[in-house]
C-alpha cells in the first residue's frame, strides 16, 4: 500500500494481551522445542501488529503535531506502551524459563534470548505508571519544540525553517538568526528546565525501584548494550579527547582563516566558506529525482528499493508548520517497509539527511526476513553505521546535487563528520555526570555542560549570548530529553563510517558486498559481532581511533580548501 492508504486501528490492549497470554499457556504445555518455537512466531505476529499501529501513529503525529486525532492517539500509546510491555515481559520470562531453552537457542539466534534477558532488567509492574509519566514528559518536550514560531525578517518560521539563515553569507544575518533561534530556547528555558528536571528525577526513581544504583546502568540495558559497558565508553571518550579534539581545533582554525574573520564565533561554526556553503540544486522533487539516478548508479538493490520507497510514498521530507523537528527512519512492520521523515530547508543537510536515513531504510528492508521484531533494528550504535556509512558511500554522485560545488561539499562533509565527534561525546559525558548526580539544580547542570564543552571543544566562543555562555546549548538536543544515552552511538558509528569510506576508496565492489552482508544480519548480532561481520575495527581500541583519524586527517588535507 501507499503510506496514506494504510489503515490505522487502535490496538485493543485487553484483547491483544489475552491472545498472547493464551498462546503462552499453550507454550508451557508444549511437548517439544519445535512446537514452542512455532508459538513464539505466532506471538511475534501479535507484537508486530501493535508495533505497526504504534509507528503509524508516531509518523502521522510527527508529520503534523497539530492533528488532534493523532495527538490523542499519541497520548494513548504513551499510556499503552508500558502496559503492553508488561505482557511482553511475561513472554520473555516464559521463554527463558522453558525446559527446552537450550534447544530453542539452536532454532533462533542467541541474540534473541540475550535481548530478552536484558529487557527484563528494564521493567517491573511497579514502574508502569512512572514509565507512562516519562512518555508524557517526552511528548511535552517534542510538542514544545514543534510549536516554535520565530519572527525573523518579516516571516514566521519553525526551527527547521531557520536553517538557511543560520548559514547566510552575511555575518550579521547569521548572528541575528542564531540569536532568534536560541532566543526561542531562552524564552522557554524555565519550561525546558522543568521538563528535564522531572525526567532526571523520574528516571532515577525508576532505576532505584528496579534495583540499580542510578539510571546509567538501566539506560544501558534499555539500549540493549549486551557486549560493552560505560567503562569502555569512557575509554572511547578519552581517546576522542586525545586524538580527535586537537584535529578538530586545527580545522576550526583553518575555517577561521578561510572565511576571513579574526575570531570564530558560535554563529560562524556552520558557515564553512567565504563563498557560502554548498546548497543542493533544486526543490525536494529535484533532489528525489537526482537520488533516483544516484541509487540506480550505486547498485541494483538500491535502485529497486529507492523507487519502491517513492512509489509507496514512504517519505515526508520538507519542513512545514506543525511538523516535529529533526529526521528519522522508522519501520512499518505490517507493510515490511521503512518510512523516512526529515525537514528539508534548502541547505546541504537536505542531501545528508536523505542519504543518512536511506542507509537506515535499506538496512531494515534488507533484514525484513527476520521473524523476531527485536531484529528489525540492530542496537542503535550498530544501526547508525548503516546511515553514516551511506553518507560516504554516495560521494561519487554528489555532483548531481551540488554541481561544481561537489568537492566543496565533500570537504565540508568530512570536516563536519570529524568535528561532530567531540560534540557527540560532550553530550554523552554530560548525561553520565547528570545521572550520577540527579539532584543537580538546572543552573548546576548548565555549568556542568559548559565545563565539558570546554574540554572537548575549547574553540567555542559564545560572545555576549548569555543563555549559551551559561550552558544552555544542550537544551536543543532532543536525544538528551527523549532517548537518554543514545548520542554516543553516532560517534561510535562515525568511526566505523570513516573506515567504510576508506574501504570504498580501495575496492568499492567488495566493500559494498560487506555492507550488504551487515544489512542482512540486522539485529541478530550485537554491536561488536556486527563489526566483525562487516570486517570493521572495534572503536573501543584506542589504537583504532588513532589510526582511522590519522587517515581521515590526511584525506582532509588533500583538499585545497583555500579555493573554496
pLDDT score at 563: 87
Residue 400 reports pLDDT greater than 90: yes
Q: With contact defined as beta carbons under 8 Å apart, do 117 and 91 qualify?
A: no
pLDDT of 562 above 90 = no
From CA 475, how far away is CA 185, in angstroms rounded? Answer: 7
User: What pTM value is reported for the model?
Assistant: 0.94
Rounded average pLDDT over 468-496: 97
Q: Report, as an integer, the average pLDDT of 301-330.
A: 96
At 97, the pLDDT band (50, 70, 90 cuts) reads very high
- The model's pLDDT over 201-241, given as tens digits with 9 standing for 90+, comes to 999 999 999 999 999 999 999 999 989 999 999 999 999 99
Mean pLDDT over 172-177 rounds to: 98
Q: Which three cell numbers stand for residue 194?
A: 522543568
Q: If DSSP states are collapsed to H, E and C, what string results for 408-437?
A: HHHHHHHHHHHHHHHHHHHHHHHHHHHHHC
Mind listing the pLDDT tens digit for each residue in 14-60? 999 999 999 999 999 999 999 999 999 999 999 999 999 999 999 99
Whole-number pLDDT of residue 113: 97
Predicted pLDDT of residue 140: 97
- 3-state SS, residue 123: coil
Share of the chain above pLDDT 90, in %: 99
pLDDT of residue 9 exceeding 90: yes
Cα–Cα dist 448/69, whole Å = 40
pLDDT value for 64: 96
pLDDT at 65 over 90: yes
Where does residue 395 rank: exposed (0-12), middle (13-18), buried (19+ CB within 10 A)?
middle
Q: Tell me: the pLDDT tens digits for 107-161?
A: 999 999 999 999 999 999 999 999 999 999 999 999 999 999 999 999 999 999 9
**Which residue, chain included where needed, has cell 543542493?**
280
Amino acid at each position: 500500500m501507499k503510506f496514506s492508504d494504510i489503515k490505522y486501528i487502535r490496538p485493543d490492549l485487553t484483547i491483544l494481551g489475552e491472545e498472547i497470554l493464551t498462546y503462552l499457556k499453550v507454550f508451557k504445555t508444549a511437548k517439544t522445542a519445535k512446537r514452542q518455537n512455532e508459538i513464539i512466531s505466532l506471538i511475534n505476529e501479535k507484537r508486530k501488529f501493535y508495533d505497526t499501529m504504534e509507528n503509524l501513529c508516531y509518523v502521522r503525529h510527527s508529520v503534523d503535531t497539530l492533528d488532534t486525532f493523532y495527538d490523542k492517539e499519541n497520548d494513548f500509546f504513551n499510556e499503552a506502551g508500558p502496559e503492553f510491555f508488561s505482557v511482553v515481559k511475561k513472554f520473555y520470562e516464559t521463554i527463558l524459563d522453558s525446559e527446552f531453552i537450550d534447544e530453542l537457542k539452536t532454532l533462533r539466534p542467541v541474540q534473541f534470548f540475550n535481548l530478552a534477558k536484558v529487557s527484563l532488567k528494564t521493567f517491573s509492574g511497579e514502574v508502569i505508571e512512572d514509565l507512562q509519566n516519562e512518555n508524557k514528559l517526552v511528548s511535552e518536550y517534542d510538542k514544545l519544540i514543534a510549536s516554535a514560531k520565530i519572527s525573523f525578517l518579516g516571516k514566521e518560521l519553525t526551527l527547521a525553517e531557520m536553517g538557511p539563515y543560520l548559514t547566510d553569507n552575511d555575518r550579521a544575518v547569521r548572528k541575528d538568526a542564531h540569536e532568534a533561534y536560541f532566543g526561542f530556547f531562552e524564552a522557554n528555558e524555565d519550561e525546558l528546565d522543568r521538563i528535564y528536571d522531572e525526567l532526571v528525577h523520574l528516571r532515577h526513581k525508576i532505576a532505584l525501584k528496579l534495583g540499580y544504583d542510578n539510571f546509567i546502568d538501566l539506560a544501558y540495558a534499555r539500549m540493549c548494550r549486551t557486549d560493552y559497558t560505560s567503562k569502555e565508553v569512557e575509554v572511547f571518550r578519552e581517546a576522542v579527547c586525545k586524538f580527535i579534539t586537537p584535529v578538530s581545533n586545527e580545522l576550526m582554525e583553518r575555517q577561521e582563516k578561510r572565511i576571513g574573520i579574526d575570531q570564530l564565533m558560535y554563529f560562524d561554526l556552520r558557515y564553512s566558506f567565504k563563498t557560502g556553503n554548498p546548497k543542493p540544486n533544486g526543490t525536494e522533487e529535484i533532489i528525489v529525482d537526482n537520488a533516483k539516478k544516484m541509487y540506480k548508479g550505486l547498485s541494483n538493490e538500491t535502485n529497486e528499493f529507492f523507487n519502491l520507497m517513492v512509489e509507496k510514498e514512504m517519505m515526508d521530507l520538507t519542513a512545514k508548520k506543525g511538523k516535529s523537528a529533526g529526521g528519522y527512519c522508522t519501520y512499518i512492520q505490517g507493510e515490511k517497509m521503512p518510512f523516512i521523515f526529515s525537514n528539508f530547508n534548502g541547505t546541504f543537510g537536505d542531501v545528508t539527511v536523505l542519504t543518512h536515513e536511506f542507509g537506515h531504510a535499506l538496512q531494515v528492508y534488507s533484514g525484513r526476513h527476520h521473524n523476531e521484531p527485536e531484529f528489525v533494528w540492530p542496537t542503535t550504535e550498530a544501526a547508525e553505521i548503516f546511515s553514516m556509512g551511506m553518507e560516504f558511500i554516495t560521494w561519487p554522485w554528489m555532483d548531481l546535487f551540488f554541481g561544481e560545488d561537489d568537492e566543496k561539499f565533500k570537504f565540508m562533509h568530512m570536516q563536519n563528520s570529524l568535528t561532530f565527534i567531540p560534540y557527540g561525546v560532550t553530550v554523552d559525558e554530560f548525561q553520565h555526570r547528570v545521572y550520577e548526580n540527579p539532584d543537580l539544580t538546572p543552573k548546576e547542570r548548565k555549568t556542568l555542560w559548559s565545563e565539558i564543552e570546554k574540554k572537548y571543544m575549547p574553540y567555542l566562543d559564545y560572545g555576549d549570548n548569555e543563555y549559551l555562555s551559561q550552558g544552555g546549548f544542550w537544551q536543543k538536543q532532543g536525544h538528551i530529553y527523549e532517548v537518554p544515552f543514545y548520542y554516543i552511538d553516532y560517534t561510535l558509528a562515525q568511526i566505523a563510517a570513516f573506515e567504510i569510506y576508506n574501504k570504498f576508496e580501495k575496492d568499492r565492489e567488495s566493500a559494498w558486498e560487506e555492507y550488504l552482508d551487515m544489512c542482512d544480519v540486522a539485529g541478530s548480532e550485537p554491536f561488536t559481532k556486527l563489526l566483525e561481520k562487516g570486517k570493521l575495527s572495534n572503536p573501543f581500541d584506542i589504537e583504532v581511533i588513532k589510526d582511522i583519524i590519522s587517515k581521515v586527517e590526511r584525506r582532509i588535507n588533500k583538499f585545497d580548501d583555500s579555493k573554496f
